[in-house]
Amino acid sequence: MTINLHDFDGEHSLTLNAGGLAADVAVAAAGHEPNGYFWEGLVQFAWPDIAEELDFDSEGGMFCAVGNPSDLTRLKAALEAVITSSEAVRDIIARAESSGFEFDD
């Protein structure tokens, strides 16, 4: 699976390798770079209730969120439905842009 949950010495994180995802074509078609920073912005816009509980440490090639296992498990389920669906990504991008949200990709 592309999304991984980690427990390293009691610090819990979720990572997503950016690139090679089914949704990448839709991200690029919307004028964005499908990198870790894009996915961080998407999470902050689409699931603000989860995002506010997390810390982020994304890079160009990887999205990374750090937090408690419960929030990370919820985020994993939400992301799994989006990274495999160009339609879901297009919908979130359209809602974000119409609300004035700017992705930092």
pLDDT value, residue 1: 54
Q: Tally the domains of the chain.
A: 1
For residue 105, tell me if it sits in a domain.
no
Percentage of the chain lying above the pLDDT 90 cut: 93
For 64-89, the pLDDT digits (tens) are 999 999 999 999 999 999 999 999 99
CATH number at residue 82: 3.30.1360
Is a pLDDT exceeding 90 seen at residue 45?
yes
Band of residue 12 on the pLDDT scale cut at 50, 70, 90: very high
Q: Is the distance from CB of 56 to CB of 40 less than 8 angstroms?
A: yes
Euclidean distance between CA atoms 35 and 55, whole angstroms: 17
**Per the domain annotation, does 104 fall within a domain?**
no
Output the pLDDT for position 69.
96
User: Using an 8 Å Cβ cutoff, are 78 and 46 in contact?
Assistant: yes
Domain holding 31, by residue range, is: 3-98
